[in-house]
Amino acid sequence: MAAYEQWRSWADPKVCCDYSLHMAVTHWSEAVRQEMHKLCSDKVGINSFKMFMAYKDMLMINDGEMLEVFKTCKEIGAIGQVSITLYCKSLFVETF
C-alpha cells in the first residue's frame, strides 16, 4: 500500500487525464497476498500485477512465488503479467 500511495502522490498533482497503475510483486508473503486483496478493491482499483523473471536478486521471484501470485490474481479477478526480457535473451544465446 505504501508504494501505491507514493506513486499516487507523485502523479495526482500533475495529471489532467485518467490513468491507471499496476503493481510489481517483487517478493511473496501472506502480507503481500493481503495487500493484493486491498489494492484490487473498488476503493483503490489496481487490477494488474507484474512479476519479473529477470533482475535476479532485485526484482525476480521464483516459480513457486509466481504461482501464488497467479492464484491470488484469480481469486481477486486481477491480471498477472510477467516480464521475461533478460531470461529470453539468455535462453536464446545459450540455445543458439
pLDDT score of 96:
47
Q: Is the pLDDT of residue 2 over 70?
A: yes
Structure-model confidence comparison of residues 78 and 53, the more confident one? 78
Amino acid at site 58 = M
**Tens-digit pLDDT profile for residues 66-90:** 999 999 999 999 999 998 875 555 5
The structure's pTM equals: 0.76
Q: Looking at this protein, which amino acid is placed at residue 61?
A: I
**Residue 95 binned pLDDT confidence (cut-offs 50, 70, 90):** very low
